[in-house]
Amino acid sequence: MFLLGNVSQSSPLPPEAFPRPFKLRFAYWVYQALFHVLLPVYLGALLWRSRREPLYRARLWERFGIWQRSTRAPVWVFAASLGETRAVSPVVKLLLRDGYEVVLTHSSPAGLTAGQKLFPDEIASGQLRTGYVPLDLFWTMSLFLRRLRPQIGIAVEMETWPGQLFGAYRRSVPMVQVNGNYIEKSLQRDLRRLGIRPLLFGGYSRITTKSETRRATYLGAGVPSDRIKLVGELKFDQDIETAQLPPANALRDRIARPTLMIASSIEAEEEQLMTLVRSLKQSALNPLIVWVPRSPQRFAAVAGALRDAGYSVALRSRCLNDQFEGAVPKDTDVLIGDSLGEMAFYYQLSDIVFVGASLVEKGGHNIIEPLAQGKPVLMGPSFYGVAFPANEAAEAGAFESLPTAEDVAKRSLELFSDASALRAMSQNAAQFNGTHTGAASERLMRYLLL
pLDDT 10s digits, 80-124: 998 899 999 999 999 999 999 999 999 999 999 999 999 999 999
List 53, 62, 84, 233, catalytic entry: 84
Largest CA distance in the chain: 67
DSSP secondary structure, 182-233, as one string: --HHHHHHHHHTT-HHHHHGGG-SEEEESSHHHHHHHHHTT--GGGEEE---
Count CA within 13 A, CB hemisphere, residue 15. 27
CATH of the domain at 196: 3.40.50.11720
Give, rounded to a whole angstrom, the gap between the first and last alpha carbons of the chain. 6
Number of domains in the chain: 2
358 part of a folded domain:
yes
Same domain, 47 and 113: yes
Residue 332's domain comprises 242-436
* Percentage above 90 pLDDT, the chain: 83
211 part of a folded domain:
yes
**What is the band of 236 on the pLDDT scale with cuts at 50, 70, 90?**
confident
Report yes or no: 202 and 15 within 8 Å, Cβ to Cβ.
no
66 part of a folded domain:
yes
Residue 52 CA to its chain's centroid (Å): 21
Indicate the residue among 200, 230, 260 that finishes a domain: 230
pLDDT 10s digits, 132-164: 999 999 999 999 999 999 999 999 998 899 999
Report yes or no: 165 and 16 within 8 Å, Cβ to Cβ.
no
Same domain, 192 and 306: no
Same domain, 218 and 257: no
Same domain, 374 and 282: yes
271 part of a folded domain:
yes
Nearest to 369 by CA among 285, 244, 255: 244
Same domain, 334 and 412: yes
Same domain, 292 and 180: no
Same domain, 224 and 251: no
Same domain, 142 and 183: yes
Indicate the residue among 173, 198, 230 that finishes a domain: 230
Same domain, 156 and 276: no
Mean of the per-residue pLDDT values for the chain?
Answer: 93
Same domain, 69 and 205: yes
Same domain, 98 and 183: yes
pLDDT of the residue at 3: 67
445 part of a folded domain:
no
pLDDT of the residue at 238: 86
CATH of the domain at 248: 3.40.50.2000
Is 84 annotated as catalytic?
yes
Same domain, 271 and 384: yes
406 part of a folded domain:
yes
448 part of a folded domain:
no
Name, in order, each residue with C-beta under 8 angstroms of 447's C-beta and a sequence gap of 6 or more: 206, 208, 229, 231
Cis, peptide link before residue 389, omega less than 30° from 0: yes
**What is the band of 318 on the pLDDT scale with cuts at 50, 70, 90?**
very high
Report yes or no: 201 and 160 within 8 Å, Cβ to Cβ.
yes
Indicate the residue among 187, 210, 230 that finishes a domain: 230
